[in-house]
Amino acid sequence: MNQRRVVITGMGTVNPLGNSVEQTWEALLAGRSGIGPITRFDASHLPTQIAGEVKDFDYRDYFSGDLAKKAKRMAPFCHYAAAATREAALQAGLETIKDKSTIGISYGSGVGGLGVQHENSLVLKDRGHRRVSPFYVPMSIGNIAAGVLSMIWGVTGPNISLQTACASANHAIATAFMVLRSGMAEVMIAGGSEGALIEISIAGFGNMQALSTRNDSPETASRPYDTDRDGFVLSEGGATLILEDYDHARRRGAPILAEVLSCGMSGDACDLVAPDPQGRGAALSMKMALNQAGVSPGDLGYINTHGTSTPVGDIAELRGIAEALGDAADVPLVGSTKSYHGHLLGAAAGLEAVITTQALREQVVPANLNLDTPDPELPPLQLPRETVKASFSRALSNSFGFGGHNSSLLLGTAPQEI
């Protein structure tokens, strides 16, 4: 029996670069950073005072009826999921599919409603248990975005939520891919969202010495692979891809943007937060993705890396790429778009899958922003410092999370008519 082919028929995003795929792609090609001073709260007493905030966003634009009332109590990650999914669903024509039981959801978040948890903890301490919101639990648990999306779109197929830190969205997309391959659904809403730009997040990551403190120059703070990198920039947002069985998409005339060829996953078995310094887990994930699709390393044209701008993580991943690709390591163009939009935690992989799809569609690879002086410890890979017009049909998108969760998504150009 031939395996089902899985394609992408819609994409949407809300992130520091813009509130749509078009705005995001334009910002990338223009070399424009989405990082700036924190405006959500007074961060003047914190070592890190910069972040990637979603701008000009009103959640009320994305909810109606009874859900509009409920949305007031929802955490931001639910709002971002709703906005990103609307753009993706409209592009895919999701509303025209009559049988909603054939549509499922696989959505991730790294920390879910952290702000709701924090606020209610303060209420409990200061005002007692009776003042804790009765909506505290359903509005803070990480799976609630997937539940909200099912209600907005009335879809009743498989509904899954994943939480694997910064690999969450990639794992969600991979799970959606496997659900479609199994025949359990015809269409899957997949991706991730995050809304954790609050004081305790900046304090916590900051005390780990994981965040950049380049407060005087926010737009240059995220600088993966540069010798002067000093940590990642915390960001927020959401990204959604509509994955669909290829034959189903063709029958209904849906736009086919790219093909999902395979996925790879692995565990580092190394540390709570630090990656395997040699990138062995990352290499295994990438090799798995290539082997699953029968794609040789030399066929890769682009790798959108996890590349967060941390001293240890960046080197480990590139060592993993060198191991996974072997003699073909210098073939693909390699880069991290976190240099533009920062690190969206559980939503990062979703946004980067959108960007990788756009790169395949436009045959353009964004530059590595702020890569002024490449770290001398980097293996000899192609790390373009200018936007490159290229010709390629295969691309990898990597995302790795605390706990040693590794994920690689292999995408290809839209398949030709058979």
Query: Taking the C-alpha atoms of 146, 239, 409 and 378 in order, what is their torsion angle to the nearest 10 degrees?
Result: -130
Question: Which residue, chain included where needed, has tokens 């849906």?
Answer: 254
What is the full DSSP assignment across 263-280?
A: EEEEE--S-SSSPPTT-H
Active-site residue, selected from the candidate residues 78, 166, 263, 270: 166
Name the H helices within 199-347: 199-207, 246-252, 280-293, 311-325, 338-341
Q: Which residues contact 290 (CB under 8 A, 6 or more apart)?
A: 262, 264, 296, 297, 300, 324, 410
Residues 255-270 as b or e (16 or more Cβ within 10 Å = b): ebbbbbbbbbbbebeb
CA distances for 408 relative to 95, 139, 264, 399, angstroms: 30, 30, 5, 6
Q: Which residues contact 357 (CB under 8 A, 6 or more apart)?
A: 8, 11, 241, 257, 258, 411
The closest alpha carbon to 75, from 36, 118, 43, belongs to 118
CA distances for 250 relative to 42, 136, 186, angstroms: 51, 43, 12
**53 with 342: CB under 8 angstroms?**
no
Q: Report the helix count and the strand count for the chain, using DSSP H and E.
A: 13, 14
> Does residue 166 carry a catalytic annotation?
yes
Distance CA 100, CA 138 (A): 24
- The residues assigned a catalytic role are 166
